[in-house]
Amino acid sequence: MSLPRALTIAGSDSGGGAGIQADLKTFQELGVYGMSAITALTAQNTTGVQAVYPTTPDAVVTQIRSIGSDIGLDALKTGMLFGSDIIQAVAAVIREYGWTKVVVDPVMIAKGGSVLLQESAIHALITELLPLTEVLTPNIPEAEHLTGLSIKRATDKREAARKLAAFGARHVIIKGGHDDDEQKATDLWYDGRDFYELEGKRIDTVHTHGTGCTFSAALTAGLASGLELKAALEQAKAFIQAAIEGGIAIGHGRGPTNHWAYKRKSC
Ligand SMILES: Nc1ncnc2c1ncn2[C@@H]1O[C@H](COP(=O)(O)OP(=O)(O)OP(=O)(O)O)[C@@H](O)[C@H]1O
Ligand SMILES: Cc1ncc(CO)c(N)n1
């Protein structure tokens, strides 16, 4: 197989732990050629998001077409999309090229509480992007927001996953980082028919900035490399587990995960 290529359509995190930066580091670690289309610049560090400067739908589409018309790609992911106009433009260009290995991380709110997706954009995310989605990776608050359901028990998670699949996502992974299990971080995978669990040992750490971006980027890298979804998910879970275990204590707040820990461990 030729060199696998992956694109991330997301926001830039100046602090380097989440967004475009996390995605490109993860692609690189997994041997995938990484490309980017930047939807917004964020001024951000380990203490939070200081400012958000969205780009324009035209700028996003032009970046994507530069890639689509020349280099091509094997898989793509979306992260912070910020507004409904950017979502509509991204959905249109995905349809135009007919790309199908599409991972959507429905980034909404940063861990410090800053808004990364406008409330008015949620409808566009559901109606425009979810029908094009191969794998949707919400955390629990995002799954609640998209479905209007309150997730307290395992059965609630399953109901939310079914509802998200009914919106058009072919696979749904509801991540367990935000649940109240003190021993394990378990992600629920729904393939439209059956449920499976991806289990990891919960690490007691504050250095979890960018976990969601890193997990979905590792998944995208696996798909770009030609792995089946199950194998790509297992690799992504092992990648994020190692990255959280090796979390980096830099800055004065929530440090980033360690993107090189997985490779070091497996060498
Ligand atoms: N403390 C932890 N220990 C082990 N695994 C964790 C921990 N926190 C999150 N995870 C795992 O990390 C991955 C990302 O999940 P999480 O729910 O944190 O995403 P997120 O909230 O979208 O992250 P982000 O802050 O980037 O938005 C999942 O596989 C989850 O199970
Ligand atoms: C740019 C960006 N994307 C995603 C997240 C979610 O972690 C973040 N904090 N910043």
Q: Which helix (H) or strand (E) holds 24?
A: helix 19-29
Position 112 scores a pLDDT of: 81
Give the residue, by CA position, lying nearest to ligand 2 atom 4: 19
Residue 265: per-residue pLDDT:
79
Assign domain 5-260 to a CATH class: alpha beta
If you average pLDDT over every residue of the chain, what do you get? 96
Q: Taking residues 148-165, what's their average pLDDT? A: 96
pLDDT confidence bin for 180, thresholds 50/70/90: confident
Is residue 1's pLDDT more than 80? no
**Element spanning 48, H or E:** strand 48-54
User: pLDDT digits over 80-127, tens only?
Assistant: 999 999 999 999 999 999 999 999 999 999 888 889 999 999 999 999
- CA-based nearest residue to 32, from 67, 7, 60, 65: 7
What does the pLDDT read at residue 23?
98
Q: Which of 114, 209, 215 to mutate to test the pocket of ligand 1 (most atoms within 8 A of CB)?
A: 215
Q: Report the catalytic residues.
A: 175, 208, 210-213
Neighbour-count burial of 64, counting CB atoms closer than 10 A to its CB (0-12 exposed, 13-18 middle, 19+ buried): buried
Query: Could you tell me the residue ranges of all domains in the chain?
Result: 5-260
Mean per-residue pLDDT, 151-160: 94
- For residue 154, give the amino acid letter: A
Report the share of the chain in percent with pLDDT over 90. Answer: 94
Answer yes or no: is pLDDT of 55 > 90: yes
Q: Tens of pLDDT along 216-260?
A: 999 999 999 999 999 999 999 999 999 999 999 999 999 999 999
* Closest CA to ligand 1's atom 7: 177
CA nearest to 219, candidates 133, 141, 159? 133
Contacts 24+ apart (CB under 8 A), 193-196: 195/158, 195/161
First to last CA, the chain: 22
Q: Nearest C-alpha to atom 22 of ligand 1 is from which residue?
A: 212
Q: Which atom of ligand 1 is nearest to the CA of 201?
A: 4
Answer whether residue 266 shows pLDDT above 80. no
Confidence at 267, pLDDT banded by 50, 70, 90: low
3-state secondary structure of 87: helix
Cα separation, 205 vs 160, whole angstroms: 28
Mean per-residue pLDDT, 56-81? 98
* Ligand 2 within 6 A of CB of 256: no
Digit-coded pLDDT (tens) for 12-43: 999 999 999 999 999 999 999 999 999 999 99
Q: Determine if ligand 2 sits within 6 Å of the CB of residue 210.
A: yes
